[in-house]
A and B are shown apart, each in its own frame.
Chain A
Amino acid sequence: EAQVTQNPRYLITVTGKKLTVTCSQNMNHEYMSWYRQDPGLGLRQIYYSMNVEVTDKGDVPEGYKVSRKEKRNFPLILESPSPNQTSLYFCASSTRQGKRDRGQNTEAFFGQGTRLTVV
């Protein structure tokens, strides 16, 4: 079954304690990204990766790090979490836009989300 798996689903932590949220996909997708969902703001992209060892900032990258050492994994790292990073986080993966040109869907597949609370 095609899926994007995030862990943990729920996490409560204290300010400044480093944490990692893992993300893994089994669809051999080149493109992976992290979003955060906040009330009234929808989903905003934090970081993305176009392939192994290729990552770049999205719209709200401050306070986050990522790595892409393997194609299937794209962990999100909060080196020193702060309360304003309390949010619902989603990992997503998709295939190349080129397939869209050939009429194939290039929608993003999302993980189930990680509810993070920083106190």
Chain B
Amino acid sequence: DQQVKQNSPSLSVQEGRISILNCDYTNSMFDYFLWYKKYPAEGPTFLISISSIKDKNEDGRFTVFLNKSAKHLSLHIVPSQPGDSAVYFCAASPRWDNFNKFYFGSGTKLNVKP
């Protein structure tokens, strides 16, 4: 059973608008969360992360929100650009497990329309 879930396989957004990608997890021992972006024919690249001691982390147009009580995190992209079109993976890491093991969601394909 997947411990990290991305329930929306795809999302389509107009350029300039906000993109919101969601991720849910089941294991309360996860304490570090990351978002990766993947273009076709390339490996995933790190986008932004958040530790469980925070509820928000910003980096330019990208903001990750963490709601520990709901075991939910989201990635906001504002404003969305066509170059943001990619598959986004959510990942979580537990402190107790072999250090740096990451559990990944199944990904959400974002399409930003010009």
> What is the interface of chain A, defined by CB distance below 8 A to chain B?
4, 31, 33, 35, 40-45, 48, 50, 56, 58, 90, 92, 94-98, 100, 105-113
Q: Among the listed B43, B49, B51, B95, which residue makes an inter-chain contact with A90, where contact means beta carbons less than 8 Å apart?
A: B43
Instruction: Using known A-B contacts A48-B98, A96-B99, A107-B49, determine if residue A113 contacts B41 with beta carbons closer than 8 Å.
Output: yes
Instruction: Using known A-B contacts A48-B98, A94-B100, determine if residue A107 contacts B46 with beta carbons closer than 8 Å.
Output: yes
Of the candidate stretches B10-18, B70-78, B104-112, the one touching chain A is: B104-112
A90 to B43, CA, bound (A): 7
Instruction: Using known A-B contacts A107-B34, A113-B43, determine if residue A45 contacts B107 with beta carbons closer than 8 Å.
Output: no
A42 to B101, CA, bound (A): 15
Total number of B residues with any Cβ neighbor in A under 8 Å:
28
Within 8 A of A (CB), among B24-52: 32, 34, 36, 41-46, 49, 51
A42:B107 contact, CB within 8 angstroms: yes
Over the window 66-106 of chain B, the binary record of Cβ atoms lying under 8 Å from chain A Cβ atoms (1 yes, 0 no) is 00000000000000000000000101010100111110111
Cβ-closest chain A residue relative to B6: A42
B100:A97 contact, CB within 8 angstroms: yes
Q: Among the listed A42, A48, A95, which residue makes an inter-chain contact with B89, where contact means beta carbons less than 8 Å apart?
A: A42
A99 to B42, CA, bound (A): 27
B106:A50 contact, CB within 8 angstroms: no
Cβ-closest chain B residue relative to A115: B41
B98:A112 contact, CB within 8 angstroms: no
A43:B43 contact, CB within 8 angstroms: no
A111 to B44, CA, bound (A): 8
A115 to B46, CA, bound (A): 21
